[in-house]
Amino acid sequence: MLAHKQCAMLYKENCIERCQLVKQRYLAIFRLGWKAWNSWRAGTGYKYVGDSTVQVDLSDCQLQEADLRFFDLGSANLRGADLSYADLREADLSGADLRDAVLHGARLNKAKLRRVDLSERNMSGVSLQEADLSYADLSGMNLRRAGLWWAKLYEAKLANADLHAAFLSGTDLRRADLRGADLSGALLNDANLGQANLEGAKLTSANLKNADLREANLEDADLQDANLQGADLRGARFNWVYLYDAMLRGLDLSDVRIDGSLFPL
């Protein structure tokens, strides 16, 4: 029994040492810059660590303030990594494991974050301008005052997210799940919310001027004091929507589906 336990301990220690060695080699390629790293990951050269098709393991790595612009980190294991104040502009993090990763102060403009899971995270005030967050799980996130101008959030999960006073001008939110989300005071002018689910969402004082809300579900949403001037509401569901003091001047409501009451108008 003792010999068995000793063998198990030695095996675990060897695995840890091997893992640490692999990470050191990954970091060595990192230091060569994004062109070398991306070339290695694409399989065209710089294959210093085995097969580049395997998941890159950078879990728990200290990458704070690192310049990671343009790096291909797609599907990488970044669990527990410290990326605080890292420059990740135009980096590809699609499908990466970011559980417990520290992203405070990280620069993520134009980054690719497709299909990432950032649910329940606190990233208030983060800058994600023109970032691609399509299909990402952002449910329950704190994104208060976040900069998401012209970002892509196609089919993103944002249920119960806090987007109070967020900057979402021109953002692609088609088919996004925004049930119960707080969008009060958010700038959503020129945003595309076609077929988005906004059931029970809080949109008080939100700016939806010229927004595309075709076939969106706004059932039981709160639009008090919201600006809907110039918005396209064709096929939208507006039953039991609260519109007190909302700006509706010039709206065409002829094709809006009202399954209950528009209350109060």
3-state class of 42 per DSSP?
helix
Q: What is the largest CA-CA distance in the chain?
A: 82
Q: How far apart are CA 242 and CA 36, in angstroms?
A: 55
CB 156 within 8 A of CB 116: no
Tokens of 52: 């580049």
SS3 assignment, position 242: strand
**Domain 113-265 annotated CATH 3.40.50.300:** no
pLDDT of amino acid 174:
98
pLDDT profile of the chain (265 residues), mean per 10: 41 39 77 90 53 70 93 94 96 95 95 97 94 98 97 98 98 98 98 98 97 95 94 90 85 71 47
The pLDDT value recorded for residue 72 is 95
Per-residue confidence (pLDDT) for residue 45, from 0 to 100: 37
Q: How far is CA 127 from CA 106, 147, 248, in A?
A: 8, 5, 31
Question: How crowded is residue 97: how many other Cβ atoms within 10 Å of its Cβ?
Answer: 20
Whole-number pLDDT of residue 50: 42
Residue-level pLDDT at 21 = 58
Tokens representing 153 are 């959030």
Q: In the prediction, which pLDDT does 263 show?
A: 46
Q: Which pLDDT score, from 0 to 100, does residue 243 have?
A: 86
> Among 132, 62, 55, which residue's Cα sits nearest to residue 101?
62
DSSP SS3 for 192: strand
pLDDT of residue 144: 97
pLDDT of residue 53: 47
Residue indicated by tokens 């970091």: 27
pLDDT at 265: 46
The SS3 assignment for 212 reads strand
d(CA 67, CA 30): 10
Prediction pTM value: 0.85
Structure confidence at residue 260 (pLDDT): 53
The whole-number pLDDT of residue 196 equals 98
Could you tell me which residues are beta bridge partners of residue 162? 142, 182
- What is the residue extent of each domain of the chain? 2-42, 113-265
